[in-house]
Chains A and B, each alone.
Chain A
Amino acid sequence: QAVVTQEPSMTVSPGGTVTLTCGSTSGAVTSGHSPYWFQQKPGQAPRTLIYDTSNKHSWTPARFSGSLLGDKAALTLSGAQPEDEADYYCLLFYSGTYAVFGGGTKLTVL
C-alpha cells in the first residue's frame, strides 16, 4: 500500500497563512484520490474539515480551504486563530480498494 506524506510540524503566527500538503509515494495526488482533511485536538475525536479535495462541511470555518497544489493535496489556513492549533491529517483513497492516512502535521499557532 502507498505511503502518504505530510509535514511533521508547522508553525503559523496568529492571523497568518499556512499551507499543509499531502503527497503520495505512488505518484501525483489527484482528485481521483478524493483527498480529505481532518483536524484533531488532544483528547478529542477527529473532525472532518474538507472532503473531495475542496468541499467543506457546514461546520468548517471559512478560513480553511482545500486544493491541489502541484502533485499534492493542500490545506490552506488563512487568518490562523489560536483554536486552530491541532493535528491535521489527510486521507487518500486508492483504486477504490483501500485508503491511507498521512502521518499528520502538528500545527502550532505562535
Chain B
Amino acid sequence: EVQLVESGGGLVQPGGSLRLSCVASGYTFSSYGMSWVRQAPGKGLEWVSAIRAKDGRTYYADSVKGRFTISRDSSKNTLYLQMNSLRADDTAIYYCSKGGWGSVTDYWGQGTLVTVSS
C-alpha cells in the first residue's frame, strides 16, 4: 500500500524558514517523480514544485522560485521542501504527491499546515 506522510509544518514568522518532509512507503521511491501542492485556507489548489526521478531536474512555480527548494533522499525514501523567506501568503496546507514530470500523479499525502504569521 502506497503511503505518503508529510511533516514539518507549523507556525513561523514572516521572513523565516521551514523544511517540510514527505516520507514515502509501499513503492520504489527512487523510480518516480514527486510534487508539492499547496492550498491556502478556503482557496483552491496551487502547484508549487516537482522533481523528476530520472535526473533530479526540478520545477517551480513563479510564486516560490528563488525561495523554495525541492529535494529528495532516496536512501530515506523522503521528499523535502526547504522554504525560505516565508511570507503570509505562503500560509497553506502543503501536500506531497507521487508523480509529476515523467511520472503519473496518483497518490497524495494528507498534508501539513504551514502558518506564516507574527
Contacts and interface: CB of A to CB of B under 8 A. Distances in A.
Contacts of B46: 101
B105 interface: yes
Nearest to B6: A45
Size class of the contact patch on chain A:
20 to 34
B101 A48 contact: no
A28 interface: no
Contact of A45 (B61, B99, B105, B108): B108
B44 A99 contact: no
Nearest to A100: B47
A96 B106 CA distance: 19
Given A98-B62, A99-B59, A47 B47 contact: no
Interface in A33-64: 36, 38, 40, 45-48, 51-52, 55, 57
Interface in B11-59: 37, 44-47, 50, 59
B44 A101 contact: yes
B111 A89 contact: no
B95 interface: yes
B45 A52 contact: no
B108 A36 contact: no
Contact of B59 (A48, A89, A98): A98
A48 B105 CA distance: 7
- Best-buried of B46, B61, B99, B105 by chain A (most CB within 10 Å): B105
Interface of B: 37, 44-47, 50, 59-62, 95, 97, 99-101, 104-111
